[in-house]
Each structure stands twice: as structure tokens, then as C-alpha cells.
Structure 1
Amino acid sequence: MWANLRKQIWQWRAVFLAAPSVAFVLILLRACGLLQPLEWAALDEFFRLRSLEAVDTRVVIVEINESDIRNGKWPMSDGELARLLEILKQQQPRAIGLDIYRDLPVEPGHQELEKVFKTTPNLIGIQKMIGDRSGFAVNPPKTLSELGQVSANDLVIDVDGKIRRSVLTVKDNNSLNNSLGAELALTYLAAQEITLQPIPAAQSQRRKFKLGKAVLVRFEANDGGYVGADAGGTQILANFRSLRQGFRKVSITDVLEGRQPKDLLRDRIVLIGVTAESSGDIFYTPYSSEFLGQNVKPFTGVEIHADVASQLLSAALEGRPQIKVWSEPVEGLWIFGCAFVGAILSWTQRYWKVTRQKVVKGVTVSLPFTSASLVLAGGAVVVGSYAAFLSGWWIPVVPGVLALLLSAGAITAYIARNTNMMRQAFGRYLTDEVVANLLETPKGLKLGGERRKVTLLISRLQGFSAISERLSPEKAVEIANLYLEAMIDVITQYQGTINDFMGDRIFVIFGAPIQREDDATRAVACALAMQLGMDSINTKLSSMSLPSLKMGIGIHTGEVLAGNIGSQRRAKYTVMGSNVTLAYRIESYTVGEQVLVSKDTFKDAGSILRVDGQMQVKPPGMQEPITIYDIGGVGGKFNLCLPQKCEEILITLVQEIPLQFTILEGEHSTEEVFQGSLVKLATTSAELRSPQPVQLFNNLLIHLLPGGEQANRLGDIYAKVVSVSAHQQIEVGVRFTAIPPEAAAFLAYIRQSGEGEVGSRMR
């Protein structure tokens, strides 16, 4: 038995470790108040999602709005206020709430107002008991205070500036008063013989009150998402009823001029107060903003008091539920339960390879069942919490969802840690995506392949071989590693799969083993980012007193055979086919800092590419010429651009410079040496005159012969043929791909001097 128990504990070890740890941390964070803002935000969203209720016609607001203020009705004299109250009394409301301070006379008409106070037993005045931010309270009207017709005007505001609690009573050092909304509701209900009655309870239980059909539970400092809140007086969690849809309102101007509807106020609660936002008597509630804090809408104090009265009337007469909370132990068990659910879902499915497949724009996307189950579980927590909220319960949804996700994340991290060592072992020799294909795909280790459409990127450092011959092997490797490190970072950023390093070339695949919708566009963006990254590489090389490098990139999209190719003893994930060869051919046409793409890639990438030029070429083995495009930028979400290329001006030399050249085939030169001369010159290009025909895009190895012993010290210049024209003699346009420092200095001297008598000068 014990052996079996130990076995079960070991099998579920990660769950027993992760779930309690996550739950304990969340409970600790919650106790420190760090989750309080998130729980308030979730509660606010629940309020906003709730459907509107019918307008409560039992409450009417006589408002002082912006129009009344502009028409001189505010501030209101005591005489005008007395006349307003007399008019209201004629419709026999059950209760009148005067949400206007009258601790000091406002002449004329103070005596008339005092008389109205004494003859209106259902009139409730206000006082500010706790004091505002400056610490000053406001006294009630003296006459109403002597008659016991005074209520508290204080509201409880959370630290984020919103009201989420309704005040029933306010207590200071000298007295205890009902709030204005509560006093008006109790006055209204007294006509139906409904009173507020304390419910006897054990000392350990919270205080409760019975009001008609409702049981009101007093708010405590740590209820719901609150931590250490001020629970002074008697408060309940607000279950707002009528704020969003509003109350029936009539302006004081309409009342004073007799334009209010007949019997609008009969047997109703009437509140008199300022609703103009310019008065500054504004507050914020969960309804004050939409999701992410947009469309802020404030409410006035008289509307808040009216809603408190509406809440209490609906609860007492109709049994409308009030917001209740679980006890702290029950909430703790809820958080532990959610943590265990998340951990169990993740742990039980760690070897479950069942996936849900969905076709998106022709591409099959596999959704891990673990993720789907977590989304469903998280959705169930949110939906269940919202359903409970509609029934009057505030369940801590944020800690529940966090417990679910964090415990699953902890399990995932534990599993990832166990596989990370294997990834590290393979990762030094294979790309991350190939490793993932081997480890996570059921057939990842089997030999064989599949035909799929991919985009191939071939980059090559032009003239690197010539530069490396002039350096020590250690320095050449240092330059290569500097270049490769920067390029690998860029390729990884754009989710390319590095298939191979071949000398000064990098072979990158987009679309295998992971296929994405934007493979062609990402490949072009990656190429542009690689070209832009050459600036920082050349800056470092310059600081090392080394010559700068240039890179050409060719890109082609087509169908290939992709998979694990080789034998049982040694295999490699790669791609094969004629389209691979064509990608290499396209790269061979690059000159300098170019990105050349095939028509297939251009078609897949779309209209967001900036084309700097295009040309027709006929690669060896092709029956027909193909179009390739010189790309200078990509728009959309990538938004990358290379500097615009300025056309160089070739300077015609007064005296031609003799030279010799050979045609390179691959990395090697042919044995035949041809004679020619340099006739025009620019910074990175030149024009040669040669009796020997050459082909467009031939790579040439040029040796200048200015005369004298200087010829042997200039070194070999590498160039690519970019134009060929035949008149009386063959004129060849070339672009330099690698120039030794001595030859570069010599050519710069020629350009600056603009003279052709170089041979005699060099002698």
C-alpha cells in the first residue's frame, strides 16, 4: 500500500509541488493588496456587462443643470428654495431629500425657508460628517437638525477614485446618522411598515440587517477583493441599479414655472441636487469608463444617493439580491482548487499528442490540446464567476484565473526543463526549428521527406575569399564569426531556418520545417534587415583597421523536397530540388549590397515591396529567361528600406590604364589571361575596354598594369560584369566586389586627380 502510494506521489510530483506553491503565492499577493486593482477591474467589467434594468420610477431627481445655472437659478436664495419646496409638497411625495447645504442663510427669504423646514416632516437635509479632503465638515440646517431630519452626505471612495460601496450609516465622534439615500429609502418604506431590523448573530459572525425581503450584510475590511479597507459606519457592497440607465429628472426652472408633469412626484422619493458637471460635485463608479478606461463618464452626488435609495427599495420590496462574498477560508480553497485544475490539465497531457487541427487560409494549423483545455477552463472560471455575480456573489475571478494559468505554466516550465538539456545538446549543431521538429513531431526522426513550397534565401559575402587570403587564419575566422553572429540574430528574429553555412554563404529556408502564411514576405524582410545590419559589422571592421564587406542576397520561392535525408548512421534535415539550384543562381547575379528576388517570390510577397530595378537573365540549364527584381524596401508590419542607390558618374580617363583579367568560374579563375584597359572610373564601378568577349555577370579577377614595379604591389581586384556593349571595341561595365587597400588608394588618386598620365607618374 505504501509503495503504491509513494509511486502515485512520484507520478504526480509536479502537481503536488506546483499547485500549492502557486496558490500560496497568490494568496500572499492578495493579502498584500497587489491583486486588488485587478479584482476591482474585473468587478467593474462585470457591472458593465450586466444588462440594463427598468428605470426605477419610485425615485425622481429635481435637478439644477447647466441651463439653470446659465439662467441665474444658481446659487439659489433661501426664498427661491422655499418656493420650490412648497411647489413640491403640493404633489405629496413620500420623502424629499435636499442634497444642498444650508448651514448658513442665503438671503433673501431665510425666514420663509425656516418656516417650510418646520412644516415639512418628510424633508431630509444633509450634513458632511467626516469632512472633505481639507478636513472640514459641513453642519446641517439648524432647524432640520433640531427636528431630527438630517442625514449624512458622505460617500466612500476607493483609492482608484471609484465608488463601489453604498453607505447606510456614518458615525463620527458625536453622532450616528443614516446616509441620505438610506434615510430616504427608510422613510419611503415606513409607509408600508417596513423597518430596518438587526439580526441577532454569534459574536464571530458579521453583522446583518433585515429590511423587508432583503438581508443586508455589513461590509468588512477584507471582503471580496478588498484588503484593509475602511469599513467605518455601516456599509454594503454596492449593487448599482439605476445609475447607467438614469433616473427621471425635472429641472428646477420647470418646477418653479409650473411645467413639471402632473403627479410626477406623488408617493415618490424626490431628491433635489446639482447635476451640472461644472459644480464639481462629480464621482466615478464602475460605469464611468468602458474597457481599458475609455469614454470616462462621471456621476453627480445626487445620482449616487438616488441609486442607494433605489438599491434598498428594490431589495426590500422585490428581493433584489445584494452583493455577497465568500469567507476568506472558502476563497483560499477556491484558489487552491483552480491551481490544482491547471496543474492537472498540464501534467496529464504532457505526453498527449492529440491536437485539434484547423485550416486557416489553406494552411493547417495544429492547436495543442493542453492550450485548448486551459482556455476552456479559464473561460469556465470567468463565465462561472460572472454567472455567480448575476446571482449576487462576488467570486475572486482574477486569483482563480491566475492560479489556473500559473500552475499550468509551472508544470510546463518543469517539463521544459527536462527537455532543455536535449535541446542544448542538439542546438549547437541544428537550428531551433529543426530541433523542435525532431523532438516534438512523431515522425521527426524518420528518414524521408515531403514536397512543400518554401522560400530560399542565399547570402554571400562578396570578395571575402580575397580579403581572407591577406589575413592570418585566426583573423579571418574572427571576421567570419563577427559576420555570422550578427546575421544569425537577424535570421532568428525573422523565423528563418538556417540550413547550412558554406564558406562565405548562408543558406536559409522559410517554410520548412515550419510553414507560415508570410514566408516569402518574411524572407525579403529578413534579407533587407541583414543588409542593414552590415553597417554595424563594417563599423566594427573599420575600428579593427580591416576592410569593409559587402553582401549579396538571392531569394527564390518554389517547391522542394524537404525532410531528413541521409542514412540511419548520419542524416540531415535539408531541402533538395531544382529550385534550390535556381536560388543559388539568383544570388550569383547580385552586385554589391543587393537583394534580388525571383518572380515567384515577388508574386507571393505582394505589392508592399519597393522595386529598385528588374532584369531578364537566363541561368544555365533554363530554357527561357527569367525576371529577377532588385528589392530596396518592404512595407506593411516590417517597414524596412535600404538607402536609395545613386547612379555613379564614370570619369573618362585621359590616358587608359592597361590591365590583365581572368574569368572566374566559381571560386577559381580560368588559366587564360586576357588583356584590356581601364577607360572610365567611379567609386565602386568602372568601364573596361577588352578585345575578348565576356558574358554578363561574369566574375573577373583584374590586375592593373600602371607601369613599373608598382604593378605587383596593387594586388588583385575582384569585379562582376554588369553591362557589355560592342561597337568598334568591346566595352565592359563592371562593379567592384573586393579591392585591396593599395589598389583602392591608387584608384582614389586617379579619381581625384582626373588626369590620365598615370603611367609616367608611377614610374
Structure 2
Amino acid sequence: MHKEFHHDAVRRLQALIERETGKPLGEAAQAEMADILHGMENPEGAAANGLEVAPREVTILLADLRGFTALSGSQPASVVIAALNRCLARLSEVVFKYQGTIDKFMGDSIMVLFGAPVARDDDVDRALLCAVEMQIAMRELNLAHLTERLPEVFLGIGVNTGTVMAGRFGSDVYSEYTVIGEAVNLASRIEALSLRGQVLISDSTYQRCWGLVSASAPMQVFVKGRTQPVSLRELIAIPSHKLKVPRQEFRRSHRVDARLPCLCQRMQDKIVVPHIVHGAIRDIGYHGLLVELIEPLEPHSEIKLEFELPLVDYRVADVYARVVTLKQEGDEWVAGLEFTSISAECRAKVQMFVQLLVAH
């Protein structure tokens, strides 16, 4: 590439970014872009800019838009695409503000790197600032959705810090700069476990920023590919920057499809009735389940449950739930049950079961 071509490429990319985001890149970002373009041609330049394949510590932010399935089912394709592009453009602005690198868009998800191809001392700090401001941006976008009578869209975010292999992968026909490794896989698992409006961070990320952020107590979760639980925290706020993750009025637990036989017994005057109602669990979450029954239960009544959780080799017993919804489907009844009494051990096993299916 000649100098004139570099200048033209930077100008064209600058115009593209400004057109999509409404905001031009600053001088420092333009210079960084020019260095990257130069490194693509010059192997020595590539090495200097970190484009050779080599291990390096990176903070990975994965964000997934939740709610586009409902949007796609109720709106024309043109409306869905316009809404998706608006969300991704706004999120991209936040990424550029905190000097992150967009690694890729994956449908309605976005993967962002801090520490590659350029590493800075405050990579972790900027990643978390970016995550919080992304959630704030989504609240603003949802206000726009309300004025257009569109369903709300939420964002789940997972952040992890670790060593990856970073560089240009591919062939002479096609190649791209990206990162691979277990730290990327874990970031993906963490994002999958995040609820709507939530930012979950790994212990390795928290250890590098504990003086900066306000976060929840550690929670132990099970993810695919690991035999031991992983410690995660929910990011609440960054007090020194007066940034706080907007709280959602109601965050749904993960609910996963499951076909599990279930035994139900009615309660009468706080005593378990001997008669057993056979059912099949249709889906299960942290706080309850949906069960198909051959006979109805009394709405708002309390029942005793028994069922097996095969993935974690555990039998759920002496668990009580309330019938919160009930409807008839053909010859069967479908009841929505909310746990009312469950031991700490049993709750942990239910959550482990759900987490393993989410990560499957």
C-alpha cells in the first residue's frame, strides 16, 4: 500500500463510520487506523502493532440483544432490520468512545476486545465503563421503541479477562484479525448466563478492577466444559464515574426446555394429600417450572413436588410450589408453578441443572 492509498482508505473508513454512527473518529483513532492498515501490508509493522499471532491478555466483552425474536414475530422485516441497525450503531458508538475494538457482529450479538490489537494499562477499566454505558444506551433506545409502539429490547453482557491467542487467522484467500482461546469461550458462557439488563463479570476481571467497581457478592455457576463452578459477580455501578447499571423492574430467570416426569400432591390444611397427580415438566427455571398434567390443580393452591434432575444426578423431593397459572390444552392441563419452599441444596441443584442446559 502506498501512502496515498493509506490516506484514501482512512478517509473512506472515516466516512463509513461517521455515516453509520453519526460521529467521526478523533485524530488519535484515525492514526491508529492508519497504523493497522500499514501493518496489514508490512509484516514488521504488523508485529509492531500486535497483528502477528501471539499470546496476550485481553478483556473480552460479549453483548447479546434479547427481545428480537418477539420483534421479528410481530413486525415487518424492514422494521426489524432498522431497529437492529439502530441498536448496533448506538452500541458501536459506546465501544468507540471507550477505544474498544469490535471483533465481530454475530446476528444480534457483538464481541468487543480491549487489549487487542493495541494494549493499554486501563483495558479492564474501559471495558467495564463500556459495559455499563451500553446498558444505559439500551434504556434510551427502549424509550424510542415505546414511541414507535415496538417491543422492548434488552441487553445481556458478559465480560472476561484472560490470555488468548491474538492475530490474523485464515489464508491468502481470506483472513481476519481475531482472538481465540478458553478465555473467549468463558466470556461466551458468561454472556449466556446473564439476564436481561445485566452485566456479569468473571473473577479474573473483578480482581483487576475491584477498587473501581461496585459489584454483587460472588456467585458460583456451572458452565459447559468445566467440572468446577466458576465465580461470577454482577456489576452494579462505577461510583467514581457516577455510572450505574439501570435496574430492570423484573429480571426473568433463565428458563430451559425439559421433558422430565413429575409427581404432584395437593395440600389440604397444610397436610399432603396421598393422591398423586402425574405430570411432565415442560420447562424449568430458577424459581419455578411449567408442568403438563392429566388433571387440573386448584389455582393458587400449594402442592408438593418430586422429580429427577438427570444432568446433576439429583432427586428433588420435599419441594413445595404454588399454582400461579393454569390453562387447558386439549385433554391436558398446563400449570405454571412457583417454588414456595425449597432447601438451599435443592435450589443450588436446580440452578446448576438450568445453567448446564443453558450452556449446552
TM-score tier (shorter): 0.5 to 0.7
C-alpha distance 624-610 of structure 1, shift in aligned 2 (>3 A): same
- Relative to structure 1, is the Cα distance of residues 445 and 644 closer, same or farther in structure 2, using a 3 angstrom cutoff? closer
Q: Report the residue type matching 1:635 in the other structure.
A: P
- Kept in 2, the 8 Å contact 1:597–1:628? The answer is yes
Q: Is the 8 A contact 2:65 2:108 kept in 1?
A: yes
Shift of 1:642: 2.3
Tell me the distance in 2 between the aligned counterparts of 1:723 and 1:570.
56
Matches within 5 A, 1:672-751: 675=292, 692-693=307-308, 706-707=327-328, 725=342
Contact kept in structure 1, 2:63 and 2:156, CA below 8 Å: yes
**C-alpha contact 1:660 1:705 (8 A) present in aligned 2:** no
Measured at CA, do residues 549 and 647 of structure 1 come closer, stay the same or move farther in structure 2, by a change above 3 Å? closer
1:440 alignment counterpart: 38
Aligned partner of 2:110 among 486, 506, 509? 506
Q: Deviations over 1:693-748 (max 9, x none)?
A: 5689xxxxxxx752479x9xxxxx9xxx9999469x99979xxxxxxxxxxxxxxx
1:96-127: CA deviation from partner (whole Å, max 9, x where unpaired): xxxxxxxxxxxxxxxxxxxxxxxxxxxxxxxx
Kindly provide the amino acid, as one letter, of the partner of residue 282 in structure 2: F
Q: Give the CA deviation at 1:459.
A: 0.6
Equivalent residue for 1:452? 56
Contact 2:114/2:123 (CA < 8 Å) preserved in 1? yes
SS of equivalent to 2:10? helix
Deviation at 1:464, TM superposition (A): 2.2
1:599 equivalent in alignment to 2:197: no
5+ residue gaps in structure 2? 18-24, 252-278, 313-324, 352-360
- Alpha-carbon separation, structure 2, partners of 1:491 and 1:439: 20
State how far apart, in whole Å, the 2-side matches of 1:524 and 1:678 are. 48
Work out whether 1:495 is the aligned partner of 2:99.
yes
Q: Does residue 260 of structure 2 align to residue 639 of structure 1?
A: no
Hey, what's the Cα distance between the residues in 1 that align with 2:207 and 2:304? 39
Give the whole-Å Cα distance in 2 for the aligned partners of 1:435 and 1:592: 34
Query: What letter is aligned with 2:244?
Result: C
Query: Contact conserved, 1:552 with 1:594, CA < 8 A, in 2?
Result: yes
> What does 1:266-285 correspond to in 2, within 5 Å?
none
**Aligned CA distance change for structure 1 residues 693 and 462 (closer, same or farther; 3 Å):** farther
Larger Rg: 1
2:69 is aligned to 465
Q: Does 1:558 align with 2:175?
A: no
What is the CA deviation profile of residues 193-225 of structure 1, one whole-angstrom value per residue up to 9, with x for unaligned ones?
xxxxxxxxxxxxxxxxxxxxxxxxxxxxxxxxx
Indicate the residue corresponding to 1:423 in structure 2: 10
Whole-Å separation in 1 of the counterparts to 2:306 and 2:160: 36
How many residues align? The count is 278
Cα distance, 1:420 vs structure 2: 3.6
Residue identity matched to 1:419 = H
Aligned equivalents of 1:545, 1:559: Cα separation in 2:
44
Residue identity matched to 2:168: N
Tell me if the contact between 1:659 and 1:705 (Cα under 8 Å) persists in the aligned partners: no
Q: Secondary structure at the match of 1:517?
A: coil
- Equivalent positions of 1:168-567 (< 5 A) are 419-425=6-12, 435-441=33-39, 442-443=42-43, 448-567=52-171
C-alpha contact (below 8 Å) 1:445/1:564 kept by paired residues = no
Tell me the CA shift for residue 547 of structure 1: 1.0
| Alpha-carbon distance between aligned partners in 2 of 1:558 and 1:602, rounded to the nearest angstrom | 12
Structure 1 equivalent of residue 212 of structure 2: 608
User: Per the alignment, do residues 520 and 486 of structure 1 end up closer, same or farther by CA in structure 2, a change over 3 Å counting?
Assistant: same
**Distance across 2 between alignment mates of 1:551 and 1:678:** 37
Could you tell me how far apart the structure 2 residues matched to 1:560 and 1:602 are?
Answer: 18
Pairing of 1:54-133 with structure 2 (within 5 A): none
Q: TM-score, normalised by structure 2?
A: 0.65
Where is the strand percentage greater, Structure 1 or Structure 2?
2
- Letter of the aligned partner of 1:531 in structure 2? Q
1-structure distance, mates of 2:6, 2:303: 60
2:210 pairs with 1:589:
no
Deviations 1:644-665 (CA, angstroms, capped at 9, x unpaired)? 67799xxxxxxxxx9973479x
* TM-score between the two structures when normalised by the length of structure 1: 0.32
AA aligned to 2:182 is S
Query: 1:565·1:574 contact (CA, 8 Å) conserved in 2?
Result: yes
- The equivalent residue for 2:181 is 577
Deviations 1:328-352 (A, max 9, x none): xxxxxxxxxxxxxxxxxxxxxxx9x
Look up the match of 1:188: none
Could you list the per-position Cα deviations for residues 134-159 of structure 1 after superposition, in whole angstroms to 9, with x for gaps in the alignment?
xxxxxxxxxxxxxxxxxxxxxxxxxx
- How far off is 1:418 after superposition? 6.2
Separation of aligned partners in 1, 2:122 and 2:245: 21
Q: Is the 8 A contact 1:452 1:562 kept in 2?
A: yes
Report Cα offsets for 1:504-539 as digits up to 9, x if no partner. Answer: 211000000111101111101100000011111001
Check conservation: 1:542, 1:548, Cα contact below 8 A: yes
Query: What code does the residue aligned with 2:194 have?
Result: T
Please give the secondary structure, in 1, of the residue aligned with 2:191. Answer: helix
Distance in 1 of aligned mates of 2:61 and 2:298: 35
Q: Which amino acid aligns with 2:91?
A: M
Partners of 2:61 and 2:341 lie apart in 1 by: 28
Could you tell me which runs of 5 or more consecutive residues in structure 1 were left unpaired when the two chains were aligned. Answer: 1-350, 352-414, 649-657, 665-672, 681-686, 697-703, 712-716, 734-763
Deviation at 1:601, TM superposition (A): 0.5
Greater RCO, 1 or 2 (C-alpha within 8 Å, sep 6+): 2
CA drift of 1:621 comes to: 1.3
Shift of 1:559: 0.4
